[in-house]
Chains A and B, each alone.
Chain A
Amino acid sequence: MRGVIFAGAALVVIAGAAGWLLTAASPLEASALSGLQPGEAARGEAVFWAGGCTSCHARTGVEGDAQLELGGGLALRSDFGTFVAPNISPHPTDGIGSWSELDFANAMMRGVAPDGSHYYPAFPYTSYARMSEQDVVDLFAYMKTLPQVEGRAGEHDLSFPFSVRRGVGLWKMRYFSEDPVVDLPEDADPKVLRGQYLVEGPGHCGECHTPRDFGGGHDKSQWLAGAPSMEGSGRIPNITPSKDGIGDWSESDIAYYLESGFTPDFDSAGGEMAKVVRNLAKLTAEDREAIAAYLKAVPAKP
């Protein structure tokens, strides 16, 4: 405990010394979204299911249209405290109804709120930063069409020093990157590249399937190699093509799993992954096959 307090105090001192400027948010250029096609809700719906927004921002366990009521409320427990998913419905005051397209893009791709403060990376902008601007504005157009939900979700409950939001600026300096994780050759199969985009970007698979280091950032040398479950029991599986991972699954096995939840042994996914499968079942078969092709192309980890 003493060590934690010391580390906390040290972090605050370092933050102070590093100065206000270093921890400031760095939003997108005002012109970042110019030259795009106008946001289109139909395209945005596909992005919405790839991004899995509803799994955290709708009420737990709901089906059908209730999945589109994004009032927030899911509590994500972690070593740093409990994060609560906010209301992201288009409600003008409780949700994001008054946001501009640029506000939304800053949240998704920079982790920056409209007031310039940082979001905590429980919101997986570390992955969403790799999305295309066009997908982000299409998604925004779609989310505008969803029902307004009244009421704000609860506040995060974090321990010091993680409760100091400004500290996220330091965290971002160390961990935030919009570069692709896996180095693929430039002439890689377009299918694999599409899969990389979906997995490393909107699908944010690495957020659970990659272990984190002491600071809560991803250990990219162990990309998708599995990790302890944040919720405290069990392990999130290794999904690299190794013996410990899914090396003996074919591409078609993976694609079918993402559609139906059935493993090659006909076990059926449960827990959080069942929710993910429910979202991925709404993608096109081509996109599920692309994810499968990428998962066969990533470096195998024991």
Chain B
Amino acid sequence: MKKLLTSAFVLMLAGGTVAAQDDPVKARQALMAAAAGAAGIAVPMLKGEMDYQPAVAKAAIATFYGVSTSAHAFFPEGSGADTKAAPKIWEDPAGFQAAFDKFQASAEAAFKASGKDGPADLKAFQQAVGPVLQNCGACHENYRLE
């Protein structure tokens, strides 16, 4: 429950920075921290280290959905210096957009599948969130330095 609150808080925090167009690096890093926080509750439930709760699962999915629809707006040209953002983001903008589209499509599908109260059981959660989690490594492989 503590983790859920932390995650929800991180998400709200990230939402707040959306207005901070003048600091896109901070905004995107906060959004990625929100995604990491969501993974931090999704994975322990998937591994059985944390009891499954539909509402908690839905919070994680909703966080991914929010990040997936907003974070790509915070990678303006020239914002890569001294960050782990790979130059490929700006060398291959179509590929970067496609990676985000994939993230967004899977997160949106998971969000729709979770219904009002969240995925009914662990199996439903696994099916919904599994494809979303695959985007982390797939996108970082090409568009983040390490």
Contacts and interface: CB of A to CB of B under 8 A. Distances in A.
Q: Do A and B come from one complex?
A: yes
Interface of A: 61, 229, 233-234, 236-237, 256, 260-262, 265-275, 277-278
Contacts of A260: 43, 133, 137
B40 A268 contact: no
19 contacts: A61-B141, A229-B146, A234-B146, A262-B136, A265-B36, A266-B39, A266-B40, A266-B43, A268-B136, A270-B84, A270-B86, A270-B140, A270-B143, A270-B145, A270-B146, A271-B141, A273-B146, A277-B137, A278-B141
B39 A271 contact: no
A190 B136 CA distance: 34
Contacts of A271: 86, 140-141, 144-146
Given A237-B146, A270-B137, A278-B137, 11 more contacts: A234-B145, A260-B43, A262-B43, A266-B43, A268-B136, A269-B140, A270-B84, A270-B140, A271-B146, A274-B140, A274-B141
Which 8 A-B residue pairings sit nearest by Cβ, starting from the closest? A270-B140, A270-B144, A274-B141, A268-B136, A261-B137, A266-B39, A266-B36, A266-B40
A234 B146 CA distance: 8
A274 B141 CA distance: 5
Interface in B128-146: 133, 136-138, 140-146
A265 B40 contact: yes
Contacts of A267: 36
Contacts of B136: 261-262, 268
Contacts of B143: 270
A129 B142 CA distance: 31
Contacts of A269: 137, 140, 146
Task: Choose among B43, B137, B138 the residue with the greatest number of A CB atoms under 10 Å from its CB.
Answer: B137
B37 interface: yes
A272 B144 CA distance: 10
Interface string B92-124: 000000000000000000000000000000000
B14 to A, nearest CB: 15
Contacts of B37: 266
A244 to B, nearest CB: 16
Contacts of A265: 36, 40
A274 B140 CA distance: 7
A126 B36 CA distance: 37
Contacts of B86: 270-271
A140 to B, nearest CB: 28
Contacts of B47: 256
Contacts of A270: 84, 86, 137, 140-141, 143-146
Contacts of A275: 141
Nearest to A61: B142
Contacts of A236: 146
A271 B84 CA distance: 10
A260 B43 CA distance: 10
A274 B139 CA distance: 9
B2 to A, nearest CB: 15
B137 A274 contact: yes
B39 A262 contact: yes
Pick from A236, A269, A278 the residue with the most CB of B within 10 Å.
A269
A268 B145 contact: no
A229 B145 CA distance: 10
A288 to B, nearest CB: 14
Interface in B32-90: 36-37, 39-40, 43, 47, 84, 86
